[in-house]
Amino acid sequence: MKNHTLNPTPTTIEDLQKECDWLKKQNAELTAKLKWYEEQFRLSQQRRFGSSSERTNADQLELFNEAEVEADPTVEEPTLETITYRRSKKRGHRETLLENLPVETIEYRLPSEEQVCSCCGGSLHEMSTEIRQELKIIPAEVKVVKHVRYVYSCRRCEREETSTPIVTASMPAPSFREFGFFFQYGLYHESKICGEHASLPTRATVCKPGD
């Protein structure tokens, strides 16, 4: 840009026109420089903070919209069908091992004369059952012994909402304890015998009979 001194007091129309032309030229040059610096700053920021996948010329982005531009807006969008399913709960490893063993069921019922409510004297009815399973080990024979204990409740107390359910924790099979205590095997021999049956406890379980 050439240096130019403005005439503080232009006297003629020709002088005013020259000053106006010079100012327009200067404004155009400054505007061009400003745009150039802005573009350099934008490119610098993009190279500094943008990822490699984002370093794309903004003028080329329209190429990716070609399908949308040529698409017919009157055509209806396809209907998407949503398919849902419920995943079944996996069976435990213990249940899988016990399913092929014979089952012996022992039921515990109250005698009819004892089916009387101790609170009001009303008759009791079978409300539910509590089932506990244990392994019963007989020499050369292994089977599942299922203990079914019936739970009774009074209808009169149920209507008055005074019934309180009792939940009992499971305990190790007594016959398995007796098996180990009776023969007095060492842990290694006892676990080896149990290892012949895939459904019996492992050596680590034998070490903790109270769990």
pLDDT in tens, 71-125: 666 666 666 667 766 766 666 676 777 778 888 888 888 888 888 888 888 888 8
Q: 173: closest CA among 152, 143, 139, 128?
A: 143
Q: Is the pLDDT of residue 157 over 90?
A: no
Of 187 and 29, the one with more pLDDT: 29
Position 189 pLDDT exceeds 60: no
36 belongs to a structural domain: yes
In a domain, 1, yes or no: no
Within a domain: residue 65? no
- Going by the DSSP 8-state scheme, the letter that residue 199 receives in this structure is T
Residue 26 domain-assigned (yes or no): yes
Is 50 exceeded by the pLDDT of residue 58?
A: yes
Q: Specify whether 113 is located in the same domain as 162.
A: yes
**Domain containing residue 22:** 12-49
Q: Same domain, yes or no, for 107 and 164? A: yes
Question: How far is 206 from 177, CA to CA, in rounded Å?
Answer: 9
Question: Do residues 176 and 156 share a domain?
Answer: no
| Domain shared by 110 and 164, yes or no | yes
Given this model, what pLDDT does residue 27 score? 93
Looking at the structure, do residues 184 and 204 belong to the same domain, yes or no?
yes
For residue 151, what pLDDT band results from cuts at 50, 70 and 90? confident
Question: For the whole model, what pTM was predicted?
Answer: 0.31
18 in a structural domain:
yes
Q: Please give the average per-residue pLDDT across 11-39, as a whole number.
A: 89
Structural domain includes residue 16: yes
- Please check whether residues 147 and 176 belong to one and the same domain: no
Same domain, 133 and 158: yes
Same domain, 186 and 159: no
- DSSP 8-state code for residue 65: G
| Residue 134 pLDDT > 60 | yes
Provide the pLDDT for residue 140: 65
Does residue 30 lie within any of the structural domains?
yes
Q: Which residue has the tokens 């010079």?
A: 22
- Same domain, yes or no: 165 and 175: no
- Using alpha carbons only, how large is the chain's radius of gyration in Å? 45
Greatest mean pLDDT among 24-33, 41-50, 202-211 lies in 24-33
Q: Is 73 among the domain residues?
A: no
Residues 135 and 155 in one domain: yes
**For the chain, how many structural domains are there in total?**
3
In 120-157, which positions are buried (b, 16+ CB within 10 angstroms) versus exposed (e)?
Answer: eeeebeeeeeeeebbbbbeeeebebbeeeeeebbbeeb
Same domain, 155 and 201: no
Q: What is the pLDDT of residues 2-23, one digit of tens each?
A: 566 666 666 788 888 888 889 9
- Indicate whether 36 pLDDT > 90: yes
